[in-house]
Structure 1
Amino acid sequence: MIHEHESVDRGITDCVIFGAGEYYDEIPDVPQDAYVVAADGGLDHTRSYGIETDAIIGDFDSVADDFSAYIGLRNITRLPSEKDETDMLSAVKIGWAQGARRFHIYGGLGGRLDHTLANMQMLARMAYHGGIGFLHGNGFVATAIADATLDFPAWDAPERRMVSVFAHSDRAKHVSIRGLKYEVDDVELRNTRALGVSNEFLPGRPATIGVGDGTLSITFAAEAPSPTWRTTHETEGPNALGGLDTEISALLARR
């Protein structure tokens, strides 16, 4: 049961995606006019929160009810379970095609480690194409930037509110960190050595994390104010992430 989602740009900036992972008793924040997508078991969460969805997608192997209970809901796309891409990436593709370039993702952390790693790779992919995603969960937020800068406004940060910075690409060059407990200027980070773990916000000081050439993965305390984001990458069009993966994987072993 596949419905095509037309690629349009209706001025949407934000997309909020609900996945099937852990929510840690957090109440998701849905910006006004955001495009809302439920990915597979994330549909159970949107229904429990009473949140209306613009699109629903997945192979529906993790919803609480039998999939037949959802037949008839509008804007629903059923994918094969033996596919090459995750339901979460498919949800991002739908939001991207609608014009969103800033994504807030709930239920994408915790649970299965392989899905968490896949979601971190997904953030890097979005950053490379001129977007940004924020994975929310367990008191922190994870994101990725490519040839870009995150600026945090000053806030009354309590002690030991952490920020960690990792190279996602093999090498991340021209990395600068300002306004945090540990500062660096124009250094190179590698993805085989974790030098940026457990930095800290300082009360009353704005903070900046930037990379001139490469991709960084960043985690920060959920209490921190939302950062602004600047990138030198062109914001790519509605098909930049590719079409939906609606076919059974050709990589399946033959038996």
Structure 2
Amino acid sequence: MGRMDTACGTCVVFAAGEYYGEQVDVPDGALVIAADGGWDHAAEAGVTVDLLVGDFDSVEHAPAPTDGVETLVLPAQKDDPDLLTALKTGWLRGVRTFHVYGALGGRVDHTLSNVQVAALVSARGGIAFLHGDGQVVTAVTDGALHFAANTVPDGTPLSVFAHSDRARGVSEPGLRYELRDATMTNLQVNGLSNEFIDGHAATVSVRDGTLVVVFPAGAPLPSLESFHAFHGDLGAVSTEVSAVLVRR
């Protein structure tokens, strides 16, 4: 399929979690979405928001949106978290590359949920970068992440975990420990703390399956290569609770 330029068709999402004082990078022409309490963070950063989504249960300080901000009001009880709704909305507008801030740290359950969302995006052929606390988390399905030659210090860590039950054909050329055609499972920890080599390009690839990849914010953002065409989307925006749930 070839590589996807991560600067093209970009969406920046302000989530409601921790920001750790990090600067939010908004590329020229990017679609900017605030997910609920992310509206506070966008206002604090002085960033113009194109779309605001959520049930607004976590907006605390920012003034109400002006008429110039498109707003999607969601019910408080629904299946999808506000962040997933934000990504679904961006996807429906043609975006396939997402940068999400405020998605890591804070509540562990929210962080795990956001990692699952990144894996869903990868399973449809897109890519989501979760930024927070000096780290970036992303996912890749049936494809490769190509890191350009960099100047990060020797020993800068990069960790890889299987998100799918099995991830086959995992290779990590250009890193300190060059894994080759390995099989990883989501019950086995064998991808923790590989290392970048100063001045060397590197790749993390998986022939069949989904990997979650964690690396420092100082490392170059990788480009995505997909090994085949992907189909499907992130699903319709959820506005109700599943019928299988019993309300009490």
> Which category describes the TM-score, using the shorter chain as reference length?
over 0.9
The AA in structure 2 aligned to 1:168 is H
User: Using the alignment, how far apart are the partners of 1:248 and 1:195 within structure 2?
Assistant: 38
User: Using the alignment, how far apart are the partners of 2:247 and 2:198 within structure 1?
Assistant: 59
1:17 to 9, 13, 16: 13
User: Using the alignment, how far apart are the partners of 2:65 and 2:152 within structure 1?
Assistant: 44
Q: Counterparts of 1:177-188 in structure 2 under 5 Å?
A: 177-188=172-183
* Cα 1:24/1:65, change in 2 over 3 Å: closer
1:126 counterpart residue number? 121
> Are 1:254 and 2:243 counterparts?
no
> Are 1:162 and 2:162 counterparts?
no
Aligned partner of residue 39 in structure 2, secondary structure? helix
* TM-score normalised by length of structure 2: 0.92
How many pairs were matched up?
A: 241
**Partners of 1:16 and 1:34 within 8 A in 2:** yes
2:142 to 124, 127, 147: 147
1:3 counterpart residue number? none
1:242 counterpart residue number? 235
* Cα 1:53/1:66, change in 2 over 3 Å: closer
> Are 1:26 and 2:19 counterparts?
no
Unaligned stretches of 5+ in structure 2?
Answer: 1-7
Unaligned stretches of 5+ in structure 1?
Answer: 1-11
* TM-score normalised by length of structure 1: 0.90
**Partners of 1:18 and 1:107 within 8 A in 2:** yes
Q: Counterparts of 1:1-255 in structure 2 under 5 Å?
A: 13-65=9-61, 69-70=64-65, 72=67, 74-236=69-231, 240-255=233-248
CA offset digits 1:181-226 (Å, max 9, x no partner): 1111111001001100011101111101100000000001110112
* Cα 1:83/1:186, change in 2 over 3 Å: same
Offset at 1:74?
2.8
**Partners of 2:105 and 2:111 within 8 A in 1:** yes
**Partners of 2:49 and 2:69 within 8 A in 1:** no
Offset at 1:78?
1.1
**Partners of 1:82 and 1:249 within 8 A in 2:** no
Offset at 1:246?
1.4
User: Using the alignment, how far apart are the partners of 1:66 and 1:79 within structure 2?
Assistant: 18
* Cα 1:59/1:249, change in 2 over 3 Å: farther
Offset at 1:250?
3.2
User: Using the alignment, how far apart are the partners of 1:61 and 1:104 within structure 2?
Assistant: 23
Offset at 1:177?
0.6
Bigger mean CA offset, 201-210 vs 69-78: 69-78
CA offset digits 1:32-77 (Å, max 9, x no partner): 101000000000011111111111001111111498x347553101
**Partners of 1:169 and 1:214 within 8 A in 2:** yes
Aligned partner of residue 196 in structure 1, secondary structure? coil
